[in-house]
Amino acid sequence: MPGLSNTIRELRAARSMTQQQLADSIGVTRQTVIAIEGDKYSPSLEVAFRIAQVFDEPLESVFQYRDARPASKRGK
């Protein structure tokens, strides 16, 4: 899927963490965690950093961005 994707589900599973536990630790609702995991909602930079901090991982290993625009339209 183009745009923002993430590995939150895998990171959470590796730590046996529930969606509710993650939601509580980053200060959002469980529904928001579900939406982020399903790539339906792109979190703010602040929430993204909080998620990375919870997993003690760099931001780019939690979130990946794929530019869906054609190469001719991308910035130099």
Partner 1 sequence: MSSLSYQEKSLYGALIADLAVFVPYLHFIHQRQPPLNAIITAVTILIVANIVLQSVIAALTRNRLTDERDRLIRLRGYRAGYFTVVGLMLLGMAMLWVHTSLGQMQPSHMALHFLSVFYAILILAEVVKTVTQLVAYRRAI
Residues in touch with partner 1 (CB under 8 A)? 27-32, 34-35, 38, 40-41, 43-44, 47
CB 62 within 8 A of CB 8: yes
C-beta of 9 vs 14, nearer to partner 1: 9
C-beta of 16 vs 44, nearer to partner 1: 44
C-beta of 40 vs 73, nearer to partner 1: 40
Residue type, 39: D
- The total of other beta-carbon atoms located within 10 Å of residue 17's CB is 15
Query: Whole-number minimum distance, CB 41 to partner 1, in Å?
Result: 6
- In angstroms, the CA 24 to CA 53 distance is 14
